[in-house]
Structure 1
Amino acid sequence: MTADDSFGRLDDDDYPAYTMGRAAEMLGTTPGFLRAIGEARLITPLRSKGGHRRYSRYQLRIAARA
């Protein structure tokens, strides 16, 4: 994967670009809220290789509506 490919993914609404902390900050909520809506299966965040939750712009739009 080249640097150009990586930047192109940022335009993809389904690319899990945001960490839980950053996603919560962007939404003005807490990480606990994001965990709760994940447990309720409203959204299903992807996991990094280290097991951390990662969110896409599409998932953040759904979370914002919740």
Structure 2
Amino acid sequence: MARPAYLHRRPDGRYCIQIRLGKRAQEIHGRPLLRVSLRTANFQEARRRLVVNLGWAVDIVQAPGLESPGSN
């Protein structure tokens, strides 16, 4: 079965969400990728958790106010 986009398997077998950051986000975070553990090594569970968590991960990457998180 093909692995969904944004799903990455680490060498220890655990899965994580992996999304490439834009230039501005890279400058702020100092890294080209956002990686967040899904805390499972089971592929089916990782797919389920990816669907549940992908929305907020994409929101973080595309957030207009990355320079000042928490300030409104």
Q: TM-score, normalised by structure 2?
A: 0.28
Larger Rg: 2
Q: TM-score, normalised by structure 1?
A: 0.29
Q: Higher strand proportion, which one?
A: 2
Q: Which has the higher contact order (CA 8 A, sep 6+)?
A: 1
